[in-house]
């Protein structure tokens, strides 16, 4: 009998709910992908790249043109000057996370994951022979720094953070960063994996990055995603930034996992980044957030605050006492809108009657979804 290396992993809830949405012709607000066209400028950059001689392997760390544009972007956004050799272009943020964990975490070590958390964190920890330590966020989805500190042992290798947070849309404040800095100072062997894929989707409160924290970034791997930033999730393009000693180990795994990332997409993104400003992205998504929230006020869902990302968490406690997974299935089948239950983001399956909607959709799609949801 075949022994599984991931015996507790099955089909993800994202795949399940998207398939159910397709089966019942439901509006898919479950999986986190936009349904609108990409920028025409980016589309033209892709066409130009495809027509150029860019169809062979790119350098393993990524095209220098793209890495230089990333260097310029980080300098502009965060006033941090880095070397292009501190940048690794990856096949999406998920690959960046997987590669970093495989390269830096050893068997028997521990990795702290803050719940609710995205499902791509735990599996690479288990595959590395390490132990995931799942710590719940507070009721307001903010880190419980005292509990995090108390959970660190001599075996703790890494802390994974996600800011802006998926699924809640919470953004850290100065107190959070001060608490993290204190922990990193007191535990000098601890590494930080900072998932910042929604860094450019922050609203009333601007996103503060680990890039801006000189005391932390020396031992941090900062991960982000072009797919989330430019709504090109199907391209699977991301990157990570870290210090040279960490990058040396990450390269060792990256070269055998993918070696290099799609050369045409890299060239297109390098050209695009030289032409556009990203500042307008937050306003674009804030308009969608506000459309969804204003429309949903007519219904019975209780919407939690959203400060970043393109997700809205809502309580359905006033509607039903069903388990959240059952409610999402019924919502898809009977009302034609697919959502994600929040319990799947928790190791203990805690069910607080919360579900997650993705509002990265066209205005007509949101209007149709709002009408159906407000009829409940």
Q: What's the CATH fold of domain 13-31+279-373?
A: 3.90.1150
The first and second tokens of residue 113, run together, are: 């994951």
Q: Chain-centre distance of CA 123, in angstroms?
A: 15
Give the residue from 26, 122, 52 showing the smallest Cα distance to 346.
Answer: 122
Cis peptide before 364 (omega within 30 of 0): no
The Cα diameter of the chain in Å comes to 59
DSSP string covering 294-333, please? Answer: HHHTTSS-EEPP--BSSEEEEE-TTT--S-HHHHHHHHHH
Split at pLDDT 50, 70, 90, the class of 93 is very high
H helix or E strand, kind and range, residue 115: strand 110-115
Percent of the chain with pLDDT over 70: 100
pLDDT digits (tens, 9 = 90+) for 340-353: 999 999 999 999 99
Specify the pLDDT at position 164.
96
Q: Is the pLDDT of residue 174 over 90?
A: yes
For 293, phi then psi, to 5°, come to -65, -40
Bridge partner residues of 337 (DSSP): 27
Domain boundaries, the chain: 13-31+279-373, 40-273
Domain 40-273 sits in CATH at 3.40.640.10
User: Is the entire prediction scored with pTM above 0.75?
Assistant: yes
Q: What are phi and psi of 184, to 5 degrees?
A: -65, -35
Dihedral (C-alpha) 43, 47, 49, 50: value to the nearest 10 degrees? 130
The strand pairing partners of 87, in sequence order, are 241
pLDDT value of residue 353: 97
- Model pLDDT for residues 296-322, shown as the tens digit of each residue: 999 999 999 999 999 999 999 999 999
> What is the reported pLDDT for 53?
87
Residues 334, 339, 341: CA angle, nearest 5 degrees: 110
Q: What band does 268 get if pLDDT is binned at 50, 70 and 90?
A: very high
pLDDT tens for residues 213-258? Answer: 999 999 999 999 999 889 899 999 999 999 999 999 999 999 999 9
Per CATH, 13-31+279-373 and 40-273 having the same topology is answered no
């Amino acid at each position: 009998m075949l022994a599984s290396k991931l015996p507790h992993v099955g089909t993800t809830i994202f795949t399940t709910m998207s398939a159910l949405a397709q089966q019942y012709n439901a509006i898919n607000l479950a999986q986190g992908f936009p349904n609108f066209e990409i920028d025409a400028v980016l589309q033209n950059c892709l066409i130009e790249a495809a027509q150029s001689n860019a169809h062979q392997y790119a350098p393993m760390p990524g095209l220098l043109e793209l890495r230089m544009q990333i260097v310029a972007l980080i300098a502009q956004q965060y006033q941090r000057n880095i070397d292009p050799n501190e940048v690794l272009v990856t096949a999406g943020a998920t690959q960046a996370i997987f590669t970093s964990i495989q390269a830096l975490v050893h068997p028997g070590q521990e990795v702290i994951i803050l719940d609710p958390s995205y499902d791509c964190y735990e599996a690479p920890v288990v595959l590395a022979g390490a132990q995931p330590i799942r710590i719940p966020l507070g009721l307001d989805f903010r880190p419980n720094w005292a509990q995090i500190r108390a959970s660190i042992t001599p075996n703790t290798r890494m802390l994974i953070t996600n800011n802006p947070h998926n699924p809640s849309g919470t953004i850290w404040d100065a107190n959070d960063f001060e608490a993290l800095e204190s922990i990193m100072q007191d535990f000098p062997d601890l590494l930080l994996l900072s998932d910042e894929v929604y860094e450019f989707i922050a609203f009333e409160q601007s996103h503060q990055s680990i890039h801006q924290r000189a005391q932390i970034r020396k031992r941090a791997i900062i991960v982000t995603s072009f797919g989330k930033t430019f709504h090109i999730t199907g391209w699977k393009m991301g990157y990570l930034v870290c210090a040279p000693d960490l990058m040396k180990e990450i390269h060792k795994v990256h070269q055998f996992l993918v070696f290099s990332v799609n050369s045409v997409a890299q060239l297109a993104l390098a050209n695009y980044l030289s032409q556009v400003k990203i500042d307008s992205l937050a306003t674009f998504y804030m308009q969608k957030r506000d459309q969804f929230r204003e429309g949903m006020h007519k219904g019975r869902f209780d919407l939690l605050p959203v400060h970043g990302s393109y997700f809205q968490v809502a309580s359905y406690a006033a509607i039903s006492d069903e388990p959240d997974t059952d409610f999402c299935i019924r919502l898809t089948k009977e009302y034609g809108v697919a959502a994600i239950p929040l319990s799947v983001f928790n190791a203990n399956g805690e069910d607080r009657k919360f579900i997650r909607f993705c509002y990265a959709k066209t205005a007509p799609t949101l209007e149709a979804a709002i009408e159906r949801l407000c009829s409940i």
